[in-house]
Structure 1
């Protein structure tokens, strides 16, 4: 997260810049301190100006008392408004502005949503808030917030998060460098909670990982070994010990990553967005290939694992929007491997979803009832007939009971 701090004399200018943008629906007011906020997400610029001036003493020796701060998370950081509010408050408190009047705006006029904060560095007694070493203090605070909220390190120059990763290509040479760069980048950008999820993520980029265990001179060791693969998942070339790429992708670091990812996904409810998207796609198709391709269009890759007979025994979703890798079963039984296997192997799998409307003959009233009388249901469409697929014993018993009930009514009507 990058913070930019500007100081100046024009309080109205800072308020007008943010207020006009917010009132034009290019963002919203998230929170305020000691300044009137009606909760609508908009701001009354003149009212805010009056509130600020009522707090500040009429005479002060402080030059450039107005502080305008922008907080810029990395574009891949997915944050709720509540999280953005918390980040802004914590930043201001650590910078010494926690008790000052301030307004926090969220700007949405570009794809990279970010915050703007307007406050003052003069307290009620006319004393200046300590702004010495602001640059270094701000940098330290943003680092702490990045770690606490699991954010990307947006200032790190040797990390090119905006550049899409490419699959490892063994034929292109320097496989060690390709594998190392890919593994390190994925560990930074994604969250995963198990070795299976980690392996599924790596497989998208033609890399796999295996655990290595052994005993050397009486000391037990655990390690990781990475290998390049072809598009079919077959290993190619020599394997590489994780130590060749640094401690950040070694066994202990990855174990810590599992625990940290689990907590972040839980605290920030990151799996909910993925689950909603997957379910919405699933309910509109019974075709496996269509399901996978539609999810990919929405920014989610699907890794399906099959037995030799072709049955699905594992499924992992890689959501590139949130940077989360999630086994289907983590999001509910309806997205487990067994549930998907059943969904894609039903008699109508591969067909478009069934329509709920019933076609009518020419000349019939389109607005009339689909069935004119109960007696007709035994013939024609056979809605209560036990013949046909997917009818179980319980359904057959129900149908027989309904028929007996109708026969009794007929006999009574005939006076029998």
Structure 2
């Protein structure tokens, strides 16, 4: 077994399900002539398999992805010689960078040493794979990811207010299929998003007011419903409306770091590439947000540069990774007038522990701004609803109250 970032011709690439953006990523592979499929969404059997092949001290995304990989290889039609698993890596304090090594050892011990892993690196802003189709893949994968994340924003914006239960999810699923089709078959993604925006606008909604809740934290858990015990749905049931930091925000962060490093090292080729990547990322994000602008209250994602400027008060930016992003995004939610923040992390998460420490000072700076740290390890939490109920009570009291950040915005 070995890692490869180019030798996947004739192989089927399996994508772990973190969020629905995985379907766009898989479609981008197929657009580039590489067979691909998204693994099943995690469930209880995922935990059973994952914990069987780990020691329980790993963070939850690690044993969840391990379990999902085991579920794939146990399917009767699995062909080790013609299969590869997509598992990106990243430097820094997070254990994420070591997942692929553990997965490799697990499959090697099970006798699947012919399986390959596709391991693009955040250090190169994930530009280092797919060979001669790298440019095409990166562009369509980015577009698909931004499109799906925008649809998810619309889902969370409309669903709490729908008159007929299920209308919003129905439209959302229809639009996901449209985006996947456009990504895979080269159709105009901007036109597709125009169509989707109109579909969301037509959903009948109640005229009521709810406290806005920002959800931040470790990328896998904040986005994956099963692993965070359906926190988003619980908040909606308790009378809130949520906004989750999207998948593509991490990609823009890696692009930002890639750009900074390119200029710092004065590598002309990398400087030029970073300029082009930044240009097209901003263009795509702006164009796909445009038809949803009114529906989403013009709450376009704040730039990474500005997010990091918010973090500097609380953390040294050399720390890197999700801790500085989580803190910066939390400040951003406060500036936009949100009524509270939920920070989601797996147990044994070092960036999460850093955020928990910093959150005390953050709250104090904002006169006890509603904030809750939620930790997950795959076990059903008996007091999760009680904690969320108390948090939402605070958020309702805070709703409409001006704070220092929003006044300065």
| Structure with a larger share of its residues in strand | 1
* Bucket of the pairwise TM-score, normalised by the shorter protein: under 0.3
Q: TM-score, normalised by structure 1?
A: 0.23
**Relative CO higher for 1 or 2, CA cutoff 8 Å, sep ≥ 6?**
2
CA radius of gyration, larger in: 1
